[in-house]
Homo-oligomer: A and B are copies of this chain.
């Protein structure tokens, strides 16, 4: 039948109008018709083949971009893990002084045994296989609110998780995200400003892609920062403009330092285009206070900077009574006319907080006051990737709309999230899921590192990994004040495990200091 429709179009008038837009720069316009000689294609095999894609001719910013969170340390850790596995499999003699690798390099809660929220997984399970809804045993396995929620979500996606959604995300989910933001902030949120993404990283990259034209575009980022920012700015060929957080004041963010950084950028001919704030902080774990946030917003408004608010740790605020999480959107809206028009993009993710569903790659961003035409470009970038993965989008929906009081799943949900909070409140940071301790290295250790061509803190971390199996990330990957050294570690290992981790680190540290003193 289809053949019929296709051949219908062959016997009608022709036209000779030129090509439409988006044509290859070079194509068959001259019709050169070079003669083709198959034998000319045969290689001279005496000539050895030299690769066409080498380190000398790949995109230079790919080479210069660095990403410490999964860098050298992790590659060493993975090879040690393999060694351990083989040892255990072949029952050969133990050659390593530890039995397992503890991955404290990345906030990956479920790898470190944080349990997923039962309600979330039950709903996903039904969405993956809706056939179960017809099973006679269904209500023996799933609570009724799980079944209702799964039906509701399935209804919003044509009853399958297997179709592309709209590029901006499932409409039902963007609507629920907007409602979540509204009730969190007490200010309206428009679903058409919400873009769902495969984790927050993709969203951050999409906005940076718009902002960066060349080396003369600068993005203000904290020192220390999360390496996604430095890596992406480098990859896109822009300039990182660092502002230092004050370690002595609990990694506080001070406006004079922002002013200094901005001025230095302008003096260097680099136009500052946006300010990145990670709140609660990664790797530092600090939460900003309200007055500070207001000053930051005023600063951005005064200097016409787009404010990029990385708020993926909003659920990880451990001193909630003292410092509840406040979003930058709320601060901007509360300030009202004073900062009218400020462009703000806020990022959130399902990977952190009590959800901790890193593997799902779910996230969203909210655009505030972004120019309509620019928003259309953001949509286009999203559409080139077709759509964020649908399961990840469903997790976003579950995160922003968890079970409420009165629903059968509420009690379990409540208990599970409390357990997760309790297991971390014994730790010092106010937010996020990391600690960023400073290490004071002996001069001889620094020299030794230099001799080996390593950053001194990287040298320390490699030694730590090889001695204890604990994988952390050197501070140099995040940026740190001249002459100071740090490492970032998650404090996600379970309560029993973290005791062991601390002992191992302390033990290693004494030995290391003794060796190089």
Contact = CB atoms under 8 A, between A and B. Distances in A.
Contact of A361 (B2, B19, B388): B388
Contacts of A27: 223, 241-244, 261, 479
A415 interface: no
A98 to B, nearest CB: 16
A191 B414 CA distance: 42
A440 B260 contact: no
A43 B1 contact: no
B306 A52 contact: yes
A341 B116 contact: no
Given A20-B474, A166-B78, A385-B202, A380 B65 contact: yes
A301 interface: yes
Given A17-B446, A36-B255, A360-B162, A24 B65 contact: no
A80 interface: no
Nearest to A305: B52
B392 A389 contact: yes
A474 B22 CA distance: 12
A388 to B, nearest CB: 7
Contacts of A270: 25-26
Contacts of A16: 482-483
Q: Which of A211, A437, A509 has the most CB of B within 10 A?
A: A437
Given A20-B457, A129-B125, A359 B390 contact: yes
Interface stretch (A6-14, A174-182, A322-330, A402-410): A6-14
Nearest to A45: B337
Interface string A340-382: 1111000000010000111111000000011101100100110
Given A12-B513, A19-B482, A360-B161, A24 B230 contact: yes
A497 to B, nearest CB: 11
A245 to B, nearest CB: 10
Contacts of A236: 59
Nearest to A212: B59
Number of copies of this chain that the complex holds: 2
B20 A483 contact: no
Contacts of A25: 239-241, 268, 270
Nearest to A43: B301
Contacts of A387: 358-359, 361
Given A8-B506, A140-B137, A265 B26 contact: yes
Given A2-B491, A17-B456, 8 more contacts: A5-B506, A32-B264, A38-B255, A41-B298, A41-B302, A50-B304, A55-B373, A358-B386
28 contacts: A2-B426, A4-B502, A8-B505, A9-B437, A10-B440, A11-B440, A18-B482, A20-B476, A22-B234, A25-B240, A25-B268, A27-B261, A27-B479, A28-B257, A28-B481, A32-B264, A36-B256, A41-B298, A49-B301, A49-B341, A51-B343, A51-B374, A60-B213, A121-B129, A128-B128, A136-B140, A198-B361, A359-B390
